[in-house]
Structure 1
Amino acid sequence: MNSDLPLYERDPDAWQAYLAEGNRTQPRKRVSADVLFRDEAGRILLVDPRYKPDWDLPGGMAEANEAPLSAARREVAEELGLDYGGGRLLVVDWVAPHGPWDDVLAFVFDGGVISPRDRVGIRLLDGELSEYRFVAPHDVGRLLRPYVESRVREALDAARDGTVRYLHGGHSV
């Protein structure tokens, strides 16, 4: 065998073992996927999870090997009974390790304006949420953690100007 050839050509099985070891030992990221829904008055849909003290956007954590948009669609269906078809990416926010948590990549997708017909179909389905409400943008700070409030404001701006924002802890880099 020609030892001048790269490992992937000279020994495909060894190459696959090398890749598997890298996959096993490299760090993994947690991923959350939320959706920014608004009503026709521009108010933002927020949810009150029973498992944490602050409100949040609808959505949640991605499962292993689940795409962020798929996670957003699944979470919105499981928690609110809404059939969210997917929307444009508005924000990716890297949140540094905090408390017992490692870092996380938080994706926010555009849910657009929820029609009155869809709004009356919202149901709290899986027991994770105690309440939902539409909140005026100037009032979201009363319910959200500061970095989540900043992320939501950045997502609103991205929805308005057609951009995607990359953030660290809710703030533009």
Structure 2
Amino acid sequence: MPPRSESEAERLRRIAILNARLPRKRAIAQGLLRNPAGQVLLCELSYKREWDLPGGVVDPGESPASCVEREVQEELGIEVHAGRLLAVNWLPPWRGWDDALLHLFDLGVHDAGELDPALFLRREITGAHWRTIADAAAHVAPYTARMLEVAADAEHTQYLENSDPVVPR
């Protein structure tokens, strides 16, 4: 039987039904920003106990790379460009949050001196600190510490599940 001809309106209606039924996964975009000494930037957040990498939740219709650039500009007042994708990390549900896909980008080296706290988005960022990757573990969530250890200096993009490398089968 030949394929049924479908109008554009019917096609869009069918897609809308599927979109309403299919699961949606939260996407997060974060960046690894280093200073000339090789330390990474960690943000003290108003809504979390642990410090975290700069970035945030990807808005609908926004790419992860655009998201991390926007979030760093809005929250820290500095312009960055998303470089190489360092890792994609599937995060299981944690502390009330649903599972998510985290995209970690290399944001390069920030060599413009100290960050200006007057530019921070105070409702979200209460402080920003440069730390070595080894020292980061004392301040960040366990999954972030593991992700940094695995992905920060990896030669290729890493696929992680709960910050653990997935070995191809």
TM-score, length-scaled by structure 2: 0.90
State whether residues 92 and 106 of structure 1, in contact with CA within 8 Å, keep that contact through their aligned partners in structure 2: yes
Backbone CA RMSD of aligned residues = 1.4
The answer (yes or no) to whether the contact 1:94–1:168 under 8 Å persists in 2 is yes
Task: Give the CA deviation at 1:113.
Answer: 1.5
> Is 1:35 the equivalent of 2:28?
no
**Which one has a larger percent helix, Structure 1 or Structure 2?**
1
| Structure 2 Cα separation of the partners of residues 93 and 84 of structure 1 | 21
Counterpart check, 1:53 vs 2:49: yes
State how far apart, in whole Å, the 1-side matches of 2:128 and 2:120 are: 12
| Cα deviation code 1:44-100 (max 9, x no counterpart) | 111110100000001111112211011101100011111112211111000112332
Equivalent position amino acid for 1:152 in 2? L
Provide the residue aligned with 1:171 in structure 2. 164
List alignment gaps of at least 5 residues for structure 1: none
1:144 — aligned with what?
A: 140
**What code does the residue aligned with 1:120 have?**
E
1:75 aligned to 2:94? no
Deviation per residue, 1:11-54 (Å, 9 max, x gap)? 23433322221111101110111110111111111111010000
Report whether the alignment pairs 1:6 with 2:7.
no
How many pairs are equivalent?
163
Cα distance change of structure 1 residues 122 and 87 upon mapping to structure 2, 3 Å threshold: farther
Partner of 2:121: 126
C-alpha displacement of 1:154: 2.0
Relative to structure 1, the CA distance from residue 86 to residue 122 in structure 2 (aligned partners, 3 Å threshold; closer, same or farther) is farther
State the AA in 2 paired with 1:129.
I
Q: What's the CA shift for 1:121?
A: 4.7
SS in 2 for 1:35: strand
Which stretches of structure 1, 4 residues or more, deviate above 6 A after TM superposition?
Answer: none
Report % sequence identity: 36
Partner of 1:157: 153
Q: Equivalent residue of 1:142, what SS? A: coil
Contact 1:33-1:71 at 8 Å conserved across structures: yes
